[in-house]
């Protein structure tokens, strides 16, 4: 098999995620919160309906026919993730849609004024640029100059969630169940090492070496007595 050279390496550090979320329009903030903690794919998130949510049990379940790998999975809601879903529940009654009843119940967990989320690239790109996580560059295409966005994308949250779960000590089998990865090879590609990880590894290695040296001195002193 040919080596893969086009595997993206992007992910969100916690501070980047917070800054980015703060810059987003209100209707997209719970979307990225859900993506940050679960690593679900775009279609799975924007297509999530209330009949898949059990607030009493604090869980969300997606059936196999709605997933890429055809496997059902369940996510437990806690912390910010639970708050995001509870906030959407409070907004499920859309108060003002022209020509619609003010008591309309929106079947989608994530929506904009009761309508399914469509293409939200504009809102995403503006927030990314504002948060310093992206930029608009000028390119030439077919003899014409145009602006192109370069920066964080929604799929980066998939890598982020995997990395956060493994760093938090979540067993890989469980993390794969949450994010929906079917194969270990695909999961491993998303378990990304950052510069902070490398610095932490160096620090721990140095501490280990120092501890070994200290232990050796103790043994040496003990043997001389």
Give, for all 225 residues of the chain, the pLDDT tens digit.
334 333 445 889 999 999 999 999 999 999 999 999 988 989 999 999 999 999 999 999 887 665 565 677 888 899 999 999 999 998 876 555 566 555 557 889 999 888 889 899 999 999 999 999 999 999 888 888 899 999 999 989 988 888 888 888 877 767 777 777 665 555 555 555 555 654 665 666 567 667 776 776 665 555 555
Residue 72: strand, helix, or coil: coil
The pTM (predicted TM-score) of the whole model is: 0.73
Q: What are phi and psi of 180, to 5 degrees?
A: 90, 25
191 DSSP 8-state letter: S
Beta strands in the chain (DSSP E): 53-54, 59-62, 73-76, 111-112, 115-116, 134-141, 144-151
Dihedral angle sign, alpha carbons of residues 168, 86, 40, 17: negative
Question: For all residues of the chain together, what is the average pLDDT?
Answer: 79
């Amino acid at each position: 098999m040919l080596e893969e050279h086009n595997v993206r390496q992007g992910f969100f550090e916690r501070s980047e995620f917070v800054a980015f979320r703060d810059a987003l329009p209100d209707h997209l903030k719970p979307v990225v919160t859900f993506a940050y903690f679960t690593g679900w794919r775009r279609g799975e998130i924007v297509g999530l309906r209330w009949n898949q949510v059990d607030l009493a049990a604090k869980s969300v379940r997606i059936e196999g026919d709605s997933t890429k790998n055809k496997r059902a999975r369940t996510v437990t809601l806690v912390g910010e993730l639970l708050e995001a879903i509870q906030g959407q529940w409070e907004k499920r009654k859309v108060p003002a849609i022209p020509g619609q009843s003010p008591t309309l119940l929106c079947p989608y967990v994530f929506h904009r004024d009761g309508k399914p989320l469509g293409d939200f690239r504009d809102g995403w790109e503006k927030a990314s640029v504002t948060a310093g996580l992206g930029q608009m560059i000028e390119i030439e295409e077919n003899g014409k100059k145009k602006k192109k966005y370069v920066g964080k994308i929604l799929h980066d949250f998939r890598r982020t969630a995997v990395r956060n779960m493994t760093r938090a000590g979540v067993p890989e089998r469980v993390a794969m169940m949450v994010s929906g990865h079917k194969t270990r090879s695909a999961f491993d590609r998303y378990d990304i090492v950052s510069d902070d990880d490398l610095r932490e590894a160096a620090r721990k290695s140095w501490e280990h070496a120092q501890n070994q040296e200290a232990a050796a001195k103790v043994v040496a002193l003990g043997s001389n007595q």
